[in-house]
Amino acid sequence: MNRDNLPAPGIPSALTIKEPPMPSSYEGHLQSVVSWALIGIFLMLFVAALYLTRAVLVPVVAAAIVGTTLAPLGRRASQHRIPHWLYALLVVVALIALFQLSMLVFFGPISKWIERAPELGGIIKDKLHALEGTLATIRGLQSAMSSDGGSGFKVDFSAFIEPILGFLTPAVSQLIIFLAMLFFVLVSQADLRRSLILVFVGQDARLRAIRTLNDVEEDLARYAATVTVINFALGCLTTIGAYILELPNPLLWGFLAFLCNFVPYIGPAFVVCVLFGVGLINFPSVGYALIAPAMYVGLTTIEGHFVTPNIVGKRFTLSPLAVFLALVFWTWLWGPVGGFLAVPILIVGIVVFNHMFTEEEATLPG
């Protein structure tokens, strides 16, 4: 045997290639990706569940929000020895009376407009004739709504009545669920509050739950009261402006402005469109028809940028982006009622978030 070919002592006879160990940072990154993926799947399933069960969840959540908003008033009523069932009954009766008043205010003018639909359609067509060259979308709408051979302007109300009936049919049952749920929430609010607090274990957790519930009730009640007063003033000014401009039914437009301003962005935009349509019918030209919408836009601009921020204060100064995103999401998910509940749900979420992360915020470096 040739000794020159023998390996030297202590040197391996063959090279062994080993895979490098997986870095711990990679494992942590992979676990983070999996965790976020599971959270994303849960959120998508949760949103799908909210959408599929909206027929039941919308009145239930609305009743819970309204009941929480009226909680401070309920405690004051109990201090005056008013039974919970009587207070709940009075609230439900007041809401039914408000709904009935709304129907009486809107039903008369709407029925008259339906009777005069061909005449009003012709008036609107003549007023918009000057804009046919620049507004192609309006021209397409006119061709879709006009009859095939006639020169008159006719509207196919079946295309509008069917979706309205489709919306009102479940809305009646949802209204019944809302009123019944609100009654039971107001009657058993103290017990529900106590049961929710007892869910948490430990004195610190229960104290935090109490502070959270107190802040949610106080913030919702203060926000609702402040916004209601501001919207009432806006409705009064809209009524006065409509009366000065000699619009028909000025009280109707003030009441519509009062109700629609509870839904940010969408509500005022709807009122602007309605006032523009009424102006087209009652004023001689498009320029005059723009006076009423311009007046309302000026009022809402002053209210949104000066009055509401100064009266509500920093406590309720919500991010416009957060309000817009919440409005878009809940309107897409639950329709008009979702738009009405978007800001209260956002307030509840912000209060809960602030209480959950109070300690973390307190320990942040300066």
Higher pLDDT, 340 or 139: 340
Rounded (5°) CA angle 224-229-235? 120
DSSP string, 233-274: HHHHHHHHHHHHTT-S-HHHHHHHHHHHTTSTTHHHHHHHHH
Rounded (5°) CA angle 75-80-86? 75
DSSP alpha helices (H): ranges in 24-152? Answer: 24-52, 54-69, 71-79, 84-115, 117-128, 136-145
In contact, 176 and 163? CB cutoff 8 Å: no
Q: Is the pLDDT of residue 141 over 70?
A: no
DSSP code of 148?
S
Phi-psi map region of 12: left, alpha, beta (phi>0 left; psi -120 to 50 alpha): beta
Q: What pTM does this model have?
A: 0.70
Q: Is the pLDDT of residue 1 over 60?
A: no
- Please give the pLDDT value at position 167: 47
CA atoms within 13 A on the CB side of 39: 6
Q: What is the mean pLDDT of the chain?
A: 77
- Please give the pLDDT value at position 265: 78
Q: Is the pLDDT of residue 172 over 50?
A: yes
Q: How far apart are CA 227 and CA 64, in angstroms?
A: 19
Higher pLDDT, 228 or 132: 228
- Please give the pLDDT value at position 162: 47
* 3 state SS of 327: helix
- Please give the pLDDT value at position 356: 79
Residue 175: Cβ within 10 Å count: 16
CA 30 centroid distance within chain: 37
Q: How far apart are CA 20 and CA 18, in angstroms?
A: 6
pLDDT band at 232 (very low <50, low <70, confident <90, very high): very high
In contact, 330 and 342? CB cutoff 8 Å: yes
Higher pLDDT, 195 or 283: 195
Residue 282: Cβ within 10 Å count: 15
Q: Is the pLDDT of residue 67 over 70?
A: yes
pLDDT band at 133 (very low <50, low <70, confident <90, very high): low
Q: How far apart are CA 95 and CA 260, in angstroms?
A: 17
Average pLDDT score over residue span 336-343: 85
Higher pLDDT, 16 or 345: 345
In degrees and rounded to multiples of 5, residue 223 shows phi and psi of: -65, -45
Q: Is the pLDDT of residue 346 over 70?
A: yes
pLDDT band at 151 (very low <50, low <70, confident <90, very high): very low
- Please give the pLDDT value at position 262: 85
Q: Helix axis angle, 158-187 relative to 189-199, nearest 10°?
A: 80
pLDDT band at 236 (very low <50, low <70, confident <90, very high): very high
Q: Is the pLDDT of residue 313 over 60?
A: no
Q: How far apart are CA 175 and CA 185, in angstroms?
A: 15
What's the chain's Rg over C-alpha atoms? Answer: 30
Q: Measure the N-to-C terminal CA separation of the chain; round to a whole number of Å.
A: 78
- Please give the pLDDT value at position 17: 55
Average pLDDT score over residue span 53-72: 89
Average pLDDT score over residue span 196-222: 87
pLDDT band at 199 (very low <50, low <70, confident <90, very high): confident
In degrees and rounded to multiples of 5, residue 299 shows phi and psi of: -65, -45
Q: Is the pLDDT of residue 75 over 80?
A: yes
3-state helix, strand, coil in the chain (%, to 5): 80, 0, 20
- Please give the pLDDT value at position 89: 92
Q: How far apart are CA 143 and CA 161, in angstroms?
A: 20
Q: Is the pLDDT of residue 365 over 50?
A: no
- Please give the pLDDT value at position 183: 92
Average pLDDT score over residue span 174-178: 87
pLDDT, tens digit, 9 for 90 and up, residues 5-57:
555 555 555 555 555 555 556 666 778 888 888 888 998 999 899 889 888 89
